[in-house]
Structure 1
Amino acid sequence: MSKNRHLTIMVCAVEPSADDLGASLMKALKAKHNEIDFVGSGGPSMIGEGLKSLFPIEPFSVIGPIDALRALPAAVSASRILANNAAKSHADACILIDSWAFAHLAAKTIRKQSPTTKLIKYVAPQVWASRPNRAKTASELFDAMLCLFEFEPEYFEKYGLSSTWVGHSGFQDMRNRPGEGVAFRSKYGISNQTPLLAVLPGSRKSEVQRLQEPFRQSLQLISQRFPNMRTVIVAAPNVAQMLEPMGETWPGTPIIVEKAERHDAFAAANAALAASGTVVTELAIQSTPTVVAYRVGRLTATWARRVITTKYASLINIAAQREVVPEFIQENCEPQKIAAAVINLLSDGNARAAQIGAFPALVTALTGSGDNTQSIAANAVLDEIWPK
């Protein structure tokens, strides 16, 4: 099979963070092979790289089994659309990014209708944190697994699934491009003596809805201790409209910035209050002391307690196997507790130093020491299409 022929590669993301990963991978693939049609599903970043997205992804950005059930009819329909397209276009490969529930359904549907299409899972399901049986299921569904973290491939290789540690491009990008904190403060007229708190209430609408009130109340309590405090809210594109009213009513005269400015915002901030997620590791990369808070619906929480096998929610704490970053999850997501922890970081040099001192080793463990993450991922994809 000629390596110079035109390729059709499906790239499928249904989460904002997966959209960024997909866009970076597409860019790397184009650098290695200039005759590729990209089709599938994705957001603005992937569309900007040339993806023909077959359906909007917003309905699939959900948390937990209850929300997943609500999204199931749309997921079934979307999977059929992908499968039909794979069969019609004779797609060489389909890369399903993150979102295990959707990827599982789509892979089964595509396999039936387009059996020659190579199925590649990008971002391994977190079998080390919950539901370890997914490793065996993945080996039955996919031809290859692209893993973000060095410790993950062994979970899948023992079932015979070809697995490659590619690293996390977003984390490496942030590590390699330190934020300009001084410039950020100057741009927004914030003096070096003014406490600046970065506030990250989530990238999903359901997260913002559940966290906006405990976050607002926490900020009110923190502002009583630091009346001159400013806040900066980093807005993911799909929740930007929800966050605008917060900029008008929350304490700290909030500045709302787009995702592109988050490097500088994190570097400028004295501390952060964040929803649990990828952003916690990004804050650690920028050496920003952080407090994590999170809350889900009661049914989702009941399900999570039954399946999760790790003590912590944040990857930084999971990697450390201890609570480096304070976590206030579910019933502990209370403004008084959250505020006290943030005040501690803003006022206690020892508390700040403890986090900042722990971050470098943990960041290296999570990002790797090398570069070219997406080049490694692109090579793994092309190796599946053209085996050596």
Structure 2
Amino acid sequence: MSRPLKIMLVAAEASGDALGAGLAKALRTRLGDDVTFVGVGGPRMAAEGVVSPFDIAELSILGWIDGLRAYGKVKRRVAETAALAEREKPDAVVLIDSWGFTIRVAKAIRTARPDVPLIKYVGPQVWASRPGRARTLAGAVDHLLALYGFDAPWFEREGLATTVVGSSALHIDMAHADGAAFRERRGIAADARLLLVLPGSRPSEIARMTPVYEETVRRLKAADPALEIAVIAAGTVAGDVAGRIATWPFRVHLVDEAEKYDAMRAADVALATSGTVSTELALAGAPMVIAYKIDGLSYPLMKRMVTAKHITLFNVAADERIAPEYIQQEATPALLAPAVGRLLSDPGIAREQARRQTAALDQMGRGGPDPSELAADAVLRVIAAKAG
């Protein structure tokens, strides 16, 4: 009797943890006891049987300066991850998102185990900046699982076999998200205006954005003392967020992962740090304002490399600024508070923005096959081709 397949999954932040969990679940649905998992991930992957040797929160690094400061730690974690692959001898390794960490892991595993198939799940956004990364990835892995159709040509031109699986964020089932129940549980009146704040999923994002959001909310509360505030704490940074929010001088409803979709449905408006949550908010029908900051030394370098006009994915897909974006020096309470206040005070404007957000999601492929299922099929095809 042949042994079960052993698949190694590697994720370094909350969004990758969710993708890894979905892939593991889809593979187990197909193979049952004929698959086992090893790797690096967060709580969602752990629930699917991936026991991580370290806490991935320390790898959620944003910007070149943060990266330099954390270089020693990242180097050690790369070595540990490669050693895990050498020790466990998986049939394939799937490296999920987190370009800076996973490209180093790919190269280290290739050196230690040149025979193992390496699959990258989510390529770098070369259409937005640094197109040379497509060639780098093609030289480091065997296959790419891409989220969007516009990703594939960039990598296929470099000879990297690519399967477009779609974005799991576009397939979140909001049917059971209950905004009315959320308001009732929290004692928020049905007609009260509710602002949902999403500070991010990386420690550096929490450190930079929460002070900005606190002052933004203070200004909004001064104009409307009855405004209700809820803050979502992503699982990997929940303790950090809770500690910071505890010092805010007004009532805040702290929301964990289990309640976040209910909260998104309940919100009149959202103020969010750029990331996957913008797609989730759009699926929930919440009009939003997007903000984003990295360290001041990294930003000039990044700005020279970025060619995209927008950073929010549905804005990119629509090629227009549907959701307002406030980046770096513009991400200030003085600009954010009026932008949020405009949506809160004019339901017609808010509804129209939500409608345009939904239309942009359709352009991105909303309603297609389940990405986790397509990703599982692709992983098994790569393994079978290598074995054959």
Distance 1:149 1:10 in 2: 24
- For 1:152, the equivalent position in structure 2 comes to 151
Cα contact 1:247–1:255 (8 A) shared by 2: no
- Structural mapping, 1:175-214, within 5 Å: 176-177=174-175, 179-214=177-212
Distance 1:213 1:76 in 2: 31
- Structural mapping, 1:1-388, within 5 Å: 5-33=3-31, 34-174=33-173, 176-177=174-175, 179-250=177-248, 253-387=251-385
* CA spacing shift, 1:260–1:116, aligned 2, 3 Å: same
More displaced 10-residue stretch of structure 1: 48-57 or 340-349: 48-57
Distance 1:85 1:201 in 2: 33
How far is the alpha carbon of 1:324 from its aligned partner? 0.6
Distance 1:178 1:323 in 2: 30
Cα root mean square deviation, aligned: 1.7
Cα contact 1:247–1:253 (8 A) shared by 2: no
How far is the alpha carbon of 1:353 from its aligned partner? 2.6
Distance 1:313 1:115 in 2: 36
Please give the secondary structure, in 2, of the residue aligned with 1:386. Answer: helix
Post-superposition Cα deviations, 1:177-209, rounded to whole Å, max 9, x if no partner, equal 352111111111111211100011111121111
Please give the secondary structure, in 1, of the residue aligned with 2:297. Answer: helix
Post-superposition Cα deviations, 1:215-255, rounded to whole Å, max 9, x if no partner, equal 11111111122210111111112322222245444365110
Unpaired runs of 5+ in structure 1?
none
Amino acid at match of 2:95: L
Cα contact 2:170–2:367 (8 A) shared by 1: no
User: How high is the TM-score relative to the length of structure 1?
Assistant: 0.95
How far is the alpha carbon of 1:311 from its aligned partner? 1.7
Distance 2:151 2:5 in 1: 29
How far is the alpha carbon of 1:99 from its aligned partner? 0.7
Distance 2:80 2:159 in 1: 29
How far is the alpha carbon of 1:137 from its aligned partner? 1.2
User: How high is the TM-score relative to the length of structure 2?
Assistant: 0.95
Distance 1:100 1:254 in 2: 34
Please give the secondary structure, in 2, of the residue aligned with 1:141. Answer: coil
Cα contact 1:122–1:146 (8 A) shared by 2: yes
Distance 1:237 1:368 in 2: 25
Cα contact 2:121–2:145 (8 A) shared by 1: yes
How far is the alpha carbon of 1:153 from its aligned partner? 1.2
Amino acid at match of 1:202: G
How far is the alpha carbon of 1:367 from its aligned partner? 4.3
Percent identity, aligned pairs only, is: 40
More displaced 10-residue stretch of structure 1: 12-21 or 164-173: 164-173
Cα contact 2:17–2:42 (8 A) shared by 1: yes
Cα contact 1:273–1:293 (8 A) shared by 2: yes
Unpaired runs of 5+ in structure 2?
none
How far is the alpha carbon of 1:87 from its aligned partner? 2.7
Cα contact 1:14–1:60 (8 A) shared by 2: yes
How far is the alpha carbon of 1:386 from its aligned partner? 0.1
Distance 2:294 2:11 in 1: 23
Distance 2:250 2:162 in 1: 46
Distance 2:366 2:143 in 1: 21
Amino acid at match of 2:214: R
More displaced 10-residue stretch of structure 1: 55-64 or 281-290: 55-64
Cα contact 1:197–1:232 (8 A) shared by 2: yes
Distance 2:24 2:199 in 1: 29
Amino acid at match of 1:317: N
Distance 1:328 1:284 in 2: 18
Please give the secondary structure, in 2, of the residue aligned with 1:203. Answer: coil
Cα contact 1:21–1:170 (8 A) shared by 2: no
Amino acid at match of 1:163: T
Please give the secondary structure, in 2, of the residue aligned with 1:256. Answer: strand
Post-superposition Cα deviations, 1:67-122, rounded to whole Å, max 9, x if no partner, equal 12222222222222232332333321110000111111111111111011100000
Cα contact 1:219–1:251 (8 A) shared by 2: no
Distance 1:89 1:242 in 2: 33
Counting matched residue pairs gives 385
Cα contact 2:95–2:102 (8 A) shared by 1: yes
Distance 1:193 1:213 in 2: 28
Amino acid at match of 2:45: M
